[in-house]
Amino acid sequence: MAETRKKTTQSKGKKAPARQPRTKELKIGELDEYLFGMGTHYDIYKKLGAHLTKRRGKEGVYFAVWAPNAKSVSVVGDFNGWDTKKNEMEHLGGIGFWAVFVPGAKLGQLYKFYIVTKNGQELYKADPFANASEFRPGTASKIVDISGFKWSDGDWMEKRVNKNPDEEPMTIYEVHPGSWKKHPATEENPDGFYNYREFAHALTDYVKDMGYTHVELMGIAEHPFDGSWGYQVTGYYAPTSRYGSPLDFKYLVNYLHKNKIGVILDWVPAHFPRDAHGLAEFDGTCCYEYADPRKGEHPDWGTKVFDFGKNEVKNFLIANALYWIEEFHVDGLRVDAVASILYLDYGRRDGEWVPNIYGGNKNLEAIEFFKHLNSVVLGRNHGALMIAEESTAWPKVTGKPEDDGLGFSMKWNMGWMHDFLEYMKLDPYFRQYNHHNMTFAMTYAYAEKYILVLSHDEVVHLKCSMINKMPGLYDDKFANLKAGYSFMLGHPGKKLLFMGQDFAQFQEWSEARELDWYLLAEEKHQKMQNYVRALLTLYRKNKALFDSDQVGEGFEWINADDNTRSIFSFVRHSKDGKNNLLFVINFTPVARPDYRVGVPRRKQYKLILNSDEEQYGGYGTPQPEVYKAVKSECDGRPYSFAYHLPPYGVAVFKF
């Protein structure tokens, strides 16, 4: 084992000073076994794994692991020359805990669990509860201390407790840290990765300049393969070593919070990979996964499925969610592939799945898991978020568990995303026949608490970048995208954009290279970025766009039926009625020199956003700033005013 170790390399950046912390005696007791067996030991990660402690005056590390069907377990590592005989672990009792104290084991040393199965097979497994891992391609766990960080985000955390996320602004910047920006490759840092600490400063500068309220970070939990983007996890309790240490990651979260930026992590309880060092058949049996392959394997993904019928497995996951939110101050988790967990027949043909006890396709154990998970996480962490990526019409995803809901805070609106992109791809001539694609989502807009998303999944695997989905020649593509983003911003629901979309990156995203930042030297891309920045500023400054997202009174169609001209007009109302915005969006290249729009009141309407301005890549045609509604029926309203609506024009008025 030892000869296969590869020295960890990291990109340059501020490093936390090495320290050997003060230790106290640690051991697992009967109460720990009882609570874990009940699925309610919410801080089990403080007992299982590798923890600095002392025994009889000697300092060292207490190792503990859950391997209920193992014949024997020992810990091997740098501290014992990877000798399988030196530190054999004690079997603690009926639930399957094994533990040993290793005097002299130190911070930074690598280790694994050597497991002999009941049929004599020998396994070398990484620690499921490890707080850090060896830099890939190494697969060992690493002894670290995550307690040695002084938080300074108290103001943010205190205010979060009293916030109602439904009524707060939320524009999320989805980021893959390893490919956002890269350093030139060096021998020390061949991948060019930013360290978490320098990433904190660069990312914060960009997010503040653009005006996003949150970042959503992909691929933070340790994973062996870059190409999985972090969606095949082997270290659920370990921030990936690609970008630094756990304390470096805490620095990132702390720094974002001090700059009033929320942090959401992708979280993957749907499945895990088969890698030999990971959770798969951990003790020689299906320990973490369902034993029946019709439930325990995803045929499409070649991965394993967690056994949601086992209390210990549910405890592993619920404690993990709490770990990220409570130990790392993360503001929310976006839960990946929820539909694949809820449906027993997801991705499976007839005969390849097992019905539930009532003969249906719902995973009853998973339903109970989500209710338990969300009740505990949100009950203990007011103001935090649990966000479901759920792609079907499953009812009450964001409903309360006591009302038979799943208890999530919010849900990605995948239906809106699909309809929106199908419409935007069309030649403008054919949009008149697909007008409903842009209006249909309003028929169910308040069934759940939604986030509108244009995520990484939409700009990979030959789906084209966002700008290249747009029809027409070069200039038309940019004009189309501005109109599309404007419609998204005005539509009820929180917002998410993937990195690169805000300056119209032409290439599809790849985890292997950084974004094409050089495009910002070109006028069209710079002006697209200016426009997205203006949209985000408009959003933050106007309560009408966020404080009544979840109530029908916050949105009003002016004209949802102007399909022949492919023009949409609607109003967003703030909760107090004092902040109201009128949107008019033209999805064709045809100018409407005297476009008349009906309005709800005989008021003055101030033009506060005009996509035709030169700074946004428009023609710069002069327009009046204020329009006075007159008594002239239009769109079924007694009052209206006329406005010069340019090709692909977007106009937002405040009244």
Alpha carbon 473 to chain centroid distance?
34
Strands 332-335 and 385-388: parallel
Ranges assigned E (strand) in 365-413 = 385-388, 410-412
Largest CA distance in the chain: 91
- CA 41/CA 142 separation, integer angstroms: 24
Which residues are part of the catalytic machinery? 336, 389
- CA 109/CA 93 separation, integer angstroms: 28
For residue 492, give the DSSP letter.
S
In contact, 224 and 234? CB cutoff 8 Å: yes
- CA 496/CA 514 separation, integer angstroms: 20
Buried b (16+ CB within 10 A) or exposed e, 77-111: bbbbebebeebebebbeebbbbbbbbeebebebbb
- CA 635/CA 598 separation, integer angstroms: 5
Alpha carbon 188 to chain centroid distance?
30
Q: Which of 58, 52, 61, 65 is nearest to 80 (CA)?
A: 61
- CA 326/CA 371 separation, integer angstroms: 19
Mark out the alpha helices in 136-195 (DSSP H runs): 154-161, 177-180
- 654, β-bridge pairs: 581, 606
What DSSP letter does each residue of 301-321 carry, written as one string?
Answer: TTEE-B-TT-HHHHHHHHHHH
> C-alpha dihedral over 162, 498, 305, 62, to 10 degrees?
-60
Q: What is the CA radius of gyration of the chain?
A: 27
285 by Cβ neighbours in 10 Å (0-12 / 13-18 / 19+) ranks as: middle
| Strand, helix or coil for residue 248 | helix
In contact, 329 and 257? CB cutoff 8 Å: yes
Integer CA distances (angstroms), 368 to 49, 55, 627, 647, in order: 27, 41, 55, 52
| Strand, helix or coil for residue 198 | helix
Q: Which backbone phi and psi does 87 adopt, to 5 degrees?
A: -130, 70
In contact, 124 and 76? CB cutoff 8 Å: yes
What DSSP letter does each residue of 36-83 carry, written as one string?
Answer: HHHT--TTGGGTSEEEEEEETTEEEEEEEEE-TTEEEEEEEEGGGTT-
Integer CA distances (angstroms), 131 to 222, 315, 448, 462, in order: 10, 17, 35, 36
